[in-house]
Amino acid sequence: MEIIPAIDLLEGSCVRLNQGDYSKVTRFSNDPVAQALDWQQQGATRLHLVDLDGAKTGKPINDTSIREITSALSIPIQLGGGVRSLERAEELINYGLDRIILGTVAIENPQLVKQLAKNHPGKILVGIDAKQGKVATRGWIEESDINATDLAKELSQTGITAIISTDISTDGTLQGPNLKALKAIGEASKVPIIASGGIGSMSDLLSLLPLEGIGINGVIVGRALYDKKFDLKEAISAIEEKRLIDAPIDQTFLA
């Protein structure tokens, strides 16, 4: 279970939104490069970047920060938000990003997902953001009638590397992940799943371990780290220790 710290970029600053609401912004830092280096120093093996301006408007407002972060870090970096064309995806890959996350375009242009996955094997992920099981797009502003599990099943056969599953109703709330929704996505997908949304404590992290067997192999953590609910280095150690002590882990509570 890889713990991936998140940096959400809005107008060049590190922020967090509550449940994807752009009117509920908490600013944590005006220096995203320093924050990225801090996560790397604490033991992060990967960084998750979200271009909130890109997700909302499609405009590359945060590109300077993105390039500065990729230049400063030695660990792999993945980015999502506003990637809606072949040209944009390849531009970001040329910035030095390890993985590109496709969101809205995965619904609007699934052929592009296949093309990018073919052109850049191992570098293309899809983000499925859902509320009450239905997929949301355009920076969570628009809701669709598409079931998240159906989309996961379909897209996992396009050659992508993994799916990031975000539960909008828990994102930024620190109230714990939606385990049943993650279980459903994991069972529907043929590629690994990275969980996102709701992590607020060490016990929330550990609650994901029983899902490793169905492909939940990573978790993105944002607000809990910024609010110092737990320490990244300690969390990485706790995951490893728990896996060694408790494997195999009882999954009956998920039934």
Q: Over the stretch 132-148, which tens digit does the pLDDT of each residue have? A: 778 876 555 556 678 99
8 is catalytic: yes
Q: 8, 53, 167, 204: which is the annotated catalytic residue?
A: 8
Query: What angle do the packed helices 86-94 and 110-119 form, to 10 degrees?
Result: 30
Q: Residue 254 CB: number of other CB atoms within 10 A?
A: 13
Confidence tier at 60 by pLDDT (50, 70, 90): confident
The number of distinct structural domains making up the chain is 1
Cβ neighbours for 38, distance < 8 A, ≥ 6 positions apart: none
Q: Can you point out the beta strands (E) in the chain?
A: 2-10, 13-18, 21-29, 47-51, 77-80, 99-102, 124-131, 134-137, 142-147, 162-167, 193-196, 216-221
Task: Decide if pLDDT at 62 tops 90.
Answer: yes
- Report the CATH number that the domain containing residue 65 is assigned in CATH: 3.20.20.70
Query: What angle do the packed helices 148-155 and 179-188 form, to 10 degrees?
Result: 30
| Residue 195 · residue 218 · CB < 8 Å | yes
Q: 53, 129, 167, 204: which is the annotated catalytic residue?
A: 129
The range of the structural domain enclosing residue 208 comes to 2-254
Task: Decide if pLDDT at 157 tops 80.
Answer: yes
